[in-house]
Amino acid sequence: MAIGIGLIGTGFMGKAHALAYRSARAIMADVPEARLSVLCDMPMDRADAMASQLGFDRATDDWTALVADPDVDIVCITTPNGLHREMALAAIAAGKNVHCEKPLALSLEDAEVMAAAAREAGSSTLVGYNYIHNPAVTHAQRLIADGRIGRPVHFRGWVDEDYQADPEFAWTWRSTRSEAGLGALGDLGCHLVSMSHLLMGPIESVLADTQIAHATRPLPDGSGRGTVENEDTASALVRYASGAQGTLCTSRSAWGRKNKLDWEVHGTRGMITFSQERLNELRLYVNDGPKAEQGFCTILTGPDHPPYGAFCPAPGHQLGFGDLKTIEATAFLRAISTETSAYPDFTDALAFEQVIHAIDTSAREGRRVSL
């Protein structure tokens, strides 16, 4: 029997969810069929139009009706951050599985409540960190686990975009703590933290600094300038539970950067590097053989890096953002059908958000913060 999908929100991420669930079985074959059952947006005419465009059975402008609908098994929440808690808790209370976009919540307290509710109810949950589902990244994880670069001793990561680099870019809800929560940390930095956790394990403590690069922005109606309440940039020195060290940096005001999610894992025998803007490549250096012949090799992802082969039989032909979302949706469908946990669930995502909030606390209080 098909698993019914209920989608709340039809912006970029809403479309990504719809396309991912619609294509999951066609690409992967061995996953349960997903049916696009109910779509919710406002106003109603937009909901109707988007339901027709994306292939949903019906539409509503009332998210509570979607949550209560018996045809909905998975509630996908792709709304602004401030709505995540209420919607997720209602869906969990209704016995639904929940696929929520990141960050989990505005505040750490809200995220803790959501994770606790999911654990208590036994709900299957997933949070939308699709970059960690990249075959190149999971291959790097295997290389590290297999000791290919020796013992990991240092992680260096940064994630930069330029969508708020222009000081005259209009003020939006993303500049407020009440509606967006954290700034660059909540929007971008959490992706870097998810990568760091996957490759290096949990972070033990942070020492950080943050900056608001543009204190005000012009209001959209031209009536003046609005105050920016959350950070444009953040930097942190981190210590991992393993004893390794690292640096994490993020900026939403970095001119020329579009999705510069880059990282390096330094080991005792080599190094692995990755750039999200070249998401089908992994670079590996291993201290083996004659020194005159050593150097970084570039690994192009292909069928030897599953599940790439489900999309394309030829290496180097490239996967994209939407394909990573399909891999993410596939993982959730499999988890639900086998009654296992998907990664990252609400508890995993809470660990990521504990780190970004610790970075914020460290910067505001000027001290190292332990997790």
Instruction: Read off the pLDDT of each residue in 73-87 and give the average, rounded to a whole number.
Output: 96
Q: Are strands 233-240 and 245-251 parallel, antiparallel or unpaired?
A: antiparallel
DSSP string, 201-251: --EEEEEEEEE-S-SEEE-TTSS-EEEP-S-SEEEEEEEETTS-EEEEEEE
In the chain, domain spans: 3-130, 132-370
Whether the model clears a pTM of 0.85, i.e. scores above it, the answer is yes
Q: What pLDDT digit, counting tens, does each position of 151-193 carry?
A: 999 999 999 999 999 999 999 988 999 888 999 999 999 999 9
CATH of domain 3-130: 3.40.50.720
* Helix axis angle, 346-365 to 108-121, nearest 10°: 160
The per-residue pLDDT of the chain, averaged, comes to: 97
pLDDT tens digits along 16-64: 999 999 999 999 999 999 999 999 999 999 999 999 999 999 999 999 9
**Fold match, 3-130 / 132-370:** no
Q: Are 245 and 260 in contact (CB under 8 A)?
A: no
Q: Selecting from 3.30.360.10, 2.40.110.10, 3.20.20.70, 3.90.1150.10, what CATH number does the domain 132-370 have?
A: 3.30.360.10
What residues contact residue 42 under an 8 Å CB cut-off, 6+ apart? 61
- State pLDDT tens for residues 124-141: 999 999 999 999 999 999
Alpha-carbon distance of 47 to 53, in angstroms, equals 10
